[in-house]
Structure 1
Amino acid sequence: MGIKLIKISVVYFAIGVLLGMYMSMAHDYALKGVHVHINLLGWASFALSGIIYHIFPRTGRHGLAKWHFWTGNIGLPVMMIGLAALILTGAGQLAIAVSIGATLVVISVILFAINILMNLQTAPTKG
Protein backbone atom coordinates (compact mmCIF):
# COMPACT_ATOMS: atom_id res chain seq x y z
CA MET A 1 0.00 0.00 0.00
CA GLY A 2 2.93 2.32 0.63
CA ILE A 3 4.08 2.38 -2.98
CA LYS A 4 0.51 3.03 -4.21
CA LEU A 5 0.21 6.03 -1.89
CA ILE A 6 3.57 7.41 -2.97
CA LYS A 7 2.65 7.05 -6.64
CA ILE A 8 -0.76 8.68 -6.27
CA SER A 9 0.80 11.47 -4.21
CA VAL A 10 3.01 12.34 -7.18
CA VAL A 11 -0.12 12.70 -9.33
CA TYR A 12 -1.59 15.11 -6.78
CA PHE A 13 1.74 16.97 -6.67
CA ALA A 14 1.67 17.47 -10.44
CA ILE A 15 -1.96 18.64 -10.32
CA GLY A 16 -1.19 21.04 -7.46
CA VAL A 17 1.85 22.50 -9.21
CA LEU A 18 -0.02 22.90 -12.49
CA LEU A 19 -2.91 24.60 -10.72
CA GLY A 20 -0.45 26.90 -8.93
CA MET A 21 1.24 27.75 -12.21
CA TYR A 22 -2.12 28.51 -13.84
CA MET A 23 -3.16 30.77 -10.97
CA SER A 24 0.16 32.60 -11.10
CA MET A 25 0.02 33.11 -14.86
CA ALA A 26 -3.61 34.23 -14.78
CA HIS A 27 -3.13 36.36 -11.64
CA ASP A 28 -6.31 34.72 -10.39
CA TYR A 29 -6.01 33.09 -7.00
CA ALA A 30 -9.64 32.16 -6.47
CA LEU A 31 -8.72 28.46 -6.36
CA LYS A 32 -5.96 28.85 -3.78
CA GLY A 33 -7.89 26.69 -1.30
CA VAL A 34 -8.06 23.89 -3.85
CA HIS A 35 -4.35 24.31 -4.59
CA VAL A 36 -3.42 24.17 -0.90
CA HIS A 37 -5.56 21.12 -0.14
CA ILE A 38 -4.31 19.17 -3.14
CA ASN A 39 -0.71 19.86 -2.13
CA LEU A 40 -1.16 19.26 1.59
CA LEU A 41 -3.55 16.32 1.60
CA GLY A 42 -2.80 14.82 -1.79
CA TRP A 43 0.93 15.32 -2.07
CA ALA A 44 2.37 15.72 1.43
CA SER A 45 0.01 13.59 3.52
CA PHE A 46 -0.29 10.72 1.08
CA ALA A 47 3.46 10.71 0.41
CA LEU A 48 4.24 10.63 4.14
CA SER A 49 1.64 7.93 4.73
CA GLY A 50 3.10 5.90 1.89
CA ILE A 51 6.62 6.25 3.28
CA ILE A 52 5.40 5.14 6.72
CA TYR A 53 3.60 2.15 5.22
CA HIS A 54 6.71 1.26 3.23
CA ILE A 55 9.12 1.56 6.17
CA PHE A 56 6.75 -0.30 8.49
CA PRO A 57 5.19 -2.96 6.22
CA ARG A 58 2.91 -4.34 8.93
CA THR A 59 0.95 -1.09 8.89
CA GLY A 60 0.68 -1.10 5.09
CA ARG A 61 -0.61 -4.68 4.96
CA HIS A 62 -3.43 -4.08 7.44
CA GLY A 63 -6.95 -3.72 6.06
CA LEU A 64 -7.15 -0.23 7.55
CA ALA A 65 -4.44 0.86 5.11
CA LYS A 66 -6.66 -0.09 2.17
CA TRP A 67 -9.61 1.77 3.66
CA HIS A 68 -7.36 4.75 4.34
CA PHE A 69 -6.20 4.75 0.72
CA TRP A 70 -9.65 4.46 -0.84
CA THR A 71 -11.57 6.84 1.42
CA GLY A 72 -8.86 9.45 0.96
CA ASN A 73 -8.59 9.01 -2.79
CA ILE A 74 -12.31 9.14 -3.32
CA GLY A 75 -12.90 11.93 -0.82
CA LEU A 76 -10.14 14.32 -1.90
CA PRO A 77 -11.14 14.56 -5.59
CA VAL A 78 -14.83 14.84 -4.69
CA MET A 79 -14.04 17.60 -2.20
CA MET A 80 -11.68 19.46 -4.56
CA ILE A 81 -13.92 19.26 -7.63
CA GLY A 82 -16.88 20.35 -5.50
CA LEU A 83 -14.91 23.22 -3.98
CA ALA A 84 -13.59 24.40 -7.35
CA ALA A 85 -17.06 24.25 -8.88
CA LEU A 86 -18.54 26.05 -5.88
CA ILE A 87 -15.94 28.83 -6.09
CA LEU A 88 -16.21 29.23 -9.85
CA THR A 89 -20.00 29.05 -10.14
CA GLY A 90 -21.21 30.16 -6.71
CA ALA A 91 -23.83 27.41 -6.84
CA GLY A 92 -24.51 26.68 -3.19
CA GLN A 93 -25.89 23.21 -3.89
CA LEU A 94 -22.34 22.11 -4.72
CA ALA A 95 -21.46 22.45 -1.03
CA ILE A 96 -22.81 18.91 -0.52
CA ALA A 97 -19.96 17.53 -2.65
CA VAL A 98 -17.47 19.42 -0.50
CA SER A 99 -19.10 18.06 2.66
CA ILE A 100 -19.19 14.47 1.44
CA GLY A 101 -15.61 14.60 0.18
CA ALA A 102 -14.35 16.26 3.34
CA THR A 103 -16.09 13.66 5.50
CA LEU A 104 -14.39 10.87 3.54
CA VAL A 105 -11.02 12.60 3.95
CA VAL A 106 -11.54 12.93 7.71
CA ILE A 107 -12.51 9.25 7.90
CA SER A 108 -9.36 8.44 5.92
CA VAL A 109 -7.17 10.33 8.40
CA ILE A 110 -8.86 8.65 11.36
CA LEU A 111 -8.34 5.22 9.77
CA PHE A 112 -4.67 6.03 9.22
CA ALA A 113 -4.28 7.15 12.83
CA ILE A 114 -5.99 4.03 14.20
CA ASN A 115 -3.86 1.82 11.95
CA ILE A 116 -0.62 3.43 13.08
CA LEU A 117 -1.56 3.44 16.76
CA MET A 118 -2.63 -0.21 16.62
CA ASN A 119 0.02 -1.70 14.36
CA LEU A 120 3.22 0.33 14.57
CA GLN A 121 5.61 -1.32 16.94
CA THR A 122 9.18 -0.64 17.80
CA ALA A 123 11.73 -3.15 16.65
CA PRO A 124 12.96 -5.47 19.37
CA THR A 125 16.26 -4.35 20.82
CA LYS A 126 19.26 -6.60 20.38
CA GLY A 127 21.11 -7.18 23.45
Structure 2
Amino acid sequence: MERKYLMTGFGYAIVGLLLGMHMAASHNHVQMPTHAHIMLVGFVVSVIYAIAYKLWLPADSGATGMGKAQYWAHQLGTLGLVVGLYSMYSGMMPGETIGPVLGVFSLITFIGLVLMKVMLIKATKAS
Protein backbone atom coordinates (compact mmCIF):
# COMPACT_ATOMS: atom_id res chain seq x y z
CA MET A 1 0.00 0.00 0.00
CA GLU A 2 2.87 2.38 0.64
CA ARG A 3 3.85 2.05 -3.04
CA LYS A 4 0.29 2.87 -4.15
CA TYR A 5 0.26 5.97 -1.98
CA LEU A 6 3.73 7.03 -3.09
CA MET A 7 2.85 6.67 -6.78
CA THR A 8 -0.52 8.42 -6.52
CA GLY A 9 1.05 11.13 -4.37
CA PHE A 10 3.69 11.88 -6.97
CA GLY A 11 0.98 11.77 -9.65
CA TYR A 12 -0.83 14.53 -7.78
CA ALA A 13 2.46 16.44 -7.48
CA ILE A 14 2.92 16.37 -11.25
CA VAL A 15 -0.64 17.62 -11.84
CA GLY A 16 -0.28 20.29 -9.15
CA LEU A 17 3.02 21.57 -10.50
CA LEU A 18 1.67 21.65 -14.05
CA LEU A 19 -1.27 23.73 -12.84
CA GLY A 20 1.15 26.01 -10.96
CA MET A 21 3.32 26.43 -14.03
CA HIS A 22 0.23 27.21 -16.12
CA MET A 23 -0.87 29.85 -13.62
CA ALA A 24 2.61 31.42 -13.60
CA ALA A 25 2.86 31.47 -17.39
CA SER A 26 -0.63 32.91 -17.86
CA HIS A 27 -0.35 35.37 -14.94
CA ASN A 28 -3.77 34.10 -13.87
CA HIS A 29 -3.70 32.71 -10.34
CA VAL A 30 -7.42 32.12 -9.92
CA GLN A 31 -6.83 28.36 -9.47
CA MET A 32 -4.53 28.86 -6.46
CA PRO A 33 -6.95 27.09 -4.07
CA THR A 34 -7.16 24.13 -6.46
CA HIS A 35 -3.37 24.04 -6.77
CA ALA A 36 -3.00 24.13 -2.97
CA HIS A 37 -5.45 21.25 -2.49
CA ILE A 38 -3.73 19.13 -5.14
CA MET A 39 -0.34 19.71 -3.54
CA LEU A 40 -1.37 19.36 0.10
CA VAL A 41 -4.21 16.83 0.16
CA GLY A 42 -3.12 14.96 -2.96
CA PHE A 43 0.67 14.99 -2.71
CA VAL A 44 1.71 15.71 0.87
CA VAL A 45 -0.99 13.70 2.65
CA SER A 46 -0.53 10.76 0.26
CA VAL A 47 3.21 10.69 0.95
CA ILE A 48 2.56 10.90 4.70
CA TYR A 49 0.18 7.95 4.37
CA ALA A 50 2.87 6.04 2.42
CA ILE A 51 5.32 6.68 5.26
CA ALA A 52 2.74 5.58 7.85
CA TYR A 53 2.12 2.35 5.95
CA LYS A 54 5.84 1.69 5.62
CA LEU A 55 6.87 2.50 9.19
CA TRP A 56 3.94 1.69 11.45
CA LEU A 57 1.35 -0.50 9.77
CA PRO A 58 1.67 -4.26 9.21
CA ALA A 59 2.50 -5.26 5.64
CA ASP A 60 -0.99 -6.73 5.08
CA SER A 61 -2.86 -3.61 6.28
CA GLY A 62 -3.63 -2.47 2.75
CA ALA A 63 -5.29 -5.79 1.96
CA THR A 64 -7.82 -5.49 4.79
CA GLY A 65 -11.27 -4.03 4.32
CA MET A 66 -10.32 -1.02 6.41
CA GLY A 67 -7.09 -0.49 4.47
CA LYS A 68 -8.87 -0.62 1.13
CA ALA A 69 -11.67 1.66 2.36
CA GLN A 70 -9.10 4.12 3.70
CA TYR A 71 -7.19 4.25 0.41
CA TRP A 72 -10.29 4.68 -1.74
CA ALA A 73 -11.86 7.24 0.59
CA HIS A 74 -8.73 9.36 0.31
CA GLN A 75 -8.57 9.00 -3.47
CA LEU A 76 -12.28 9.64 -4.07
CA GLY A 77 -12.37 12.58 -1.68
CA THR A 78 -9.24 14.18 -3.07
CA LEU A 79 -10.23 13.75 -6.70
CA GLY A 80 -13.72 15.09 -6.00
CA LEU A 81 -12.31 18.13 -4.20
CA VAL A 82 -9.85 18.87 -6.99
CA VAL A 83 -12.40 18.55 -9.80
CA GLY A 84 -15.00 20.50 -7.82
CA LEU A 85 -12.61 23.33 -6.94
CA TYR A 86 -11.36 23.53 -10.51
CA SER A 87 -14.95 23.70 -11.77
CA MET A 88 -15.83 26.43 -9.30
CA TYR A 89 -12.76 28.62 -9.79
CA SER A 90 -12.87 28.29 -13.57
CA GLY A 91 -16.46 29.54 -13.57
CA MET A 92 -17.89 26.30 -14.96
CA MET A 93 -20.07 25.87 -11.89
CA PRO A 94 -21.25 28.44 -9.34
CA GLY A 95 -20.19 28.10 -5.72
CA GLU A 96 -23.81 27.77 -4.57
CA THR A 97 -24.17 24.67 -6.73
CA ILE A 98 -20.81 22.98 -6.15
CA GLY A 99 -20.47 23.97 -2.48
CA PRO A 100 -22.56 21.10 -1.08
CA VAL A 101 -20.75 18.64 -3.37
CA LEU A 102 -17.40 19.92 -2.08
CA GLY A 103 -18.73 19.37 1.43
CA VAL A 104 -19.48 15.71 0.65
CA PHE A 105 -16.01 15.15 -0.83
CA SER A 106 -14.42 16.88 2.16
CA LEU A 107 -16.30 14.50 4.44
CA ILE A 108 -15.13 11.49 2.40
CA THR A 109 -11.53 12.72 2.68
CA PHE A 110 -12.04 13.18 6.43
CA ILE A 111 -13.33 9.60 6.74
CA GLY A 112 -10.10 8.42 5.07
CA LEU A 113 -8.11 10.34 7.68
CA VAL A 114 -10.13 8.86 10.56
CA LEU A 115 -9.66 5.34 9.15
CA MET A 116 -5.89 5.92 8.99
CA LYS A 117 -5.92 7.06 12.62
CA VAL A 118 -7.87 3.94 13.66
CA MET A 119 -5.45 1.66 11.80
CA LEU A 120 -2.47 3.40 13.41
CA ILE A 121 -4.00 3.08 16.88
CA LYS A 122 -4.63 -0.63 16.35
CA ALA A 123 -1.14 -1.22 14.95
CA THR A 124 0.69 0.66 17.70
CA LYS A 125 -1.33 -1.07 20.45
CA ALA A 126 -0.47 -4.46 18.95
CA SER A 127 3.27 -3.79 18.89
TM-score grouping bracket, smaller chain normalisation: 0.7 to 0.9
Runs of 4+ more than 6 Å apart: none
Alignment check: 8 A CA contact 2:56 2:120 kept:
no
Alignment check: 8 A CA contact 1:59 1:119 kept:
no
Structure 2 residue corresponding to 1:108, chosen from 82, 107, 112: 112
| Distance in 1 between residues matched to 2:123 and 2:8, nearest whole Å | 23
Q: Secondary structure at the match of 1:58?
A: coil
Instruction: Return 79-88 or 6-15, whichever deviates more.
Output: 79-88
Alignment check: 8 A CA contact 2:57 2:123 kept:
no
**Partner letter of residue 63 of structure 1?**
G
TM value normalised by structure 1: 0.87
Identity of aligned residues (%): 20
The runs of 5 or more residues in structure 2 that have no matched partner are: none
Instruction: Return 86-95 or 6-15, whichever deviates more.
Output: 86-95
Q: Higher Cα Rg: structure 1 or 2?
A: 1
Structure 2 residue corresponding to 1:99, chosen from 103, 109, 112: 103
Q: 1:60 to 1:46 in 2, by over 3 A?
A: farther
Residue 45 of structure 1 is matched in structure 2 by 45
**Partner letter of residue 55 of structure 1?**
L
Alignment check: 8 A CA contact 1:68 1:108 kept:
yes
TM value normalised by structure 2: 0.87
Structure 2 residue corresponding to 1:64, chosen from 63, 66, 69: 66
Deviation at 1:63, TM superposition (A): 3.3
The count of aligned residue pairs is 123
Please, what is the CA RMSD of the aligned residues?
1.8
Alignment check: 8 A CA contact 1:59 1:65 kept:
no
